[in-house]
Amino acid sequence: MPAYLAGRLFTAVWVVFGVSTLVFLLIHWVPGDPVDVMLGESASGADRELLRQALGLDRPLFEQWWSFMHGILHFDLGNSLYHQQSVVSLLDSRYVATAELAGLAFLFAVAIALPLGLLAAARRGSAWDRGAMGFAMLGVSIPNFWLGPLLVLLFSLQLGWLPVSGREGPASLLLPALTLGTSLAAILSRMVRSSLLEVLEEDYIRSARARGLSSYQVLVRHGLRNAWLPILTLLGMQLGALLGGAVVTETVFNWPGLGTLLVESIQRRDYPVVQGCVLVISLSYVLINLLTDLLYAWVDPRIRLHQGHG
């Protein structure tokens, strides 16, 4: 376990370092002078020079990188060019909204996928199975930015049950979370089914059946427990897609989270905020993945007790 932990932490630190550097480089990849792009062609020379100094673009690249990394360690990501506010305080005001959205979407996905996948695996080849997998195919293929408006059309405009957009009260969270959670639910239910089916082939399942355990006990206590690991791994990885999808979903519902902030800032060419958003979302993802891997190791004695590199 200590070796596994050390190896995993080392990778995480490296990835954080690399992600931060890449985010730093984003601005410098833009063809031409970022100052020209931000101010337009008509700006005066003095304005340009001022902005260049404000962004630190007049300094050598390495120095800029150094102060960027130094800033990250001190929770300082510079100031917004549009709002009279620091990037960190902007991110701080939006972070919770995105976390709410992603969290509820995740719960939706698990609540739909677990029973669906279990049912499909238990009644393999039946109408239940085909229905569940049909749902999964639909869910994987439907894009957020279409599902969202369709749900709004049905639940907000036709039935008038839920608000169209914005973030006022718990009801306004339902449609965005459902929209965001559907594709994860689809992928997850497939994964639950296939990993359960694999486990159900094992000898210990046959033994459990032979011992006369109820099919529920066989399925949940012996099957699902062993099928957890591939499901957990997939969950950790898919949370990244969930966070990426949140950017689009937030735009659909005008949800005041990091995603809408990112898109607004791109349109305003507010580069420090763009960098901040990408950094925070990516680092959250890295952290979640790290936690998943640690959880994985903790759940599975085969990894926990193994002395080598996991």
- In a 13 Å sphere around the CA of 112, the CA atoms on its Cβ side amount to 25
Check: CB of residue 274 under 8 Å from CB of residue 26: yes
Which residue lies nearer to other proteins by CB, 176 or 222? 176
Which residue lies nearer to other proteins by CB, 80 or 289? 289
Which residue lies nearer to other proteins by CB, 5 or 138? 138
Is there binding between residue 162 and other proteins (CB under 8 A)? no
Q: How many residues form the binding site for other proteins (CB under 8 A)?
A: 59
Percent helix, strand and coil across the chain, each rounded to 5? 80, 0, 20
CA–CA distance, 64 with 225 (Å, rounded to integer): 50
Is there binding between residue 267 and other proteins (CB under 8 A)? yes
Reading the block at residue 199, the tokens are 């486990």
Is there binding between residue 104 and other proteins (CB under 8 A)? no
Q: Which of 7, 131, 143, 166 binds other proteins (CB under 8 A)?
A: 143
CA–CA distance, 63 with 242 (Å, rounded to integer): 35
At 186, phi and psi to the nearest 5? -65, -50
CA–CA distance, 21 with 13 (Å, rounded to integer): 12
Reading the block at residue 253, the tokens are 């519902």
Q: Which of 90, 97, 119, 186 binds other proteins (CB under 8 A)?
A: 186
Q: Which stretch binds other proteins (CB under 8 A): 61-69, 170-178, 220-228, 262-270?
A: 262-270
CB of 215 to other proteins, least distance (A): 27
Q: Which stretch binds other proteins (CB under 8 A): 51-59, 74-82, 113-121, 182-190?
A: 182-190
Long-range contacts of 244-248 (CB under 8 A, 24+ apart): 244/281, 245/144, 245/180, 245/183, 246/98, 246/101, 246/102, 246/105, 246/180, 247/281, 248/144, 248/145
Is there binding between residue 57 and other proteins (CB under 8 A)? no
Which residue lies nearer to other proteins by CB, 77 or 208? 77
Phi-psi region of 169 (alpha: psi -120 to 50; beta: other; left: phi over 0): left
Three-class DSSP labels, 183-201: HHHHHHHHHHHHHHHHHCC
Phi-psi region of 226 (alpha: psi -120 to 50; beta: other; left: phi over 0): alpha
Site string for other proteins, 23-52 (x = CB under 8 A): ---xx-xxx-----x---------------
Is there binding between residue 172 and other proteins (CB under 8 A)? no
Q: Which stretch binds other proteins (CB under 8 A): 62-70, 111-119, 134-142, 168-176?
A: 134-142
Q: Which of 42, 44, 84, 141 binds other proteins (CB under 8 A)?
A: 141
The span from the first CA to the last CA of the chain, in angstroms, equals 8
Is there binding between residue 271 and other proteins (CB under 8 A)? yes
Which residue lies nearer to other proteins by CB, 42 or 267? 267
CB of 295 to other proteins, least distance (A): 18
Beta bridge partners of 188: none
Binding residues vs other proteins (CB under 8 A): 11, 14-15, 18-19, 22, 26-27, 29-31, 37, 137-138, 140-146, 149-150, 152-153, 157, 180, 183-184, 186-187, 230, 234, 237-245, 247-248, 251-252, 262-263, 266-267, 271, 274, 277-278, 281-282, 285-286, 289
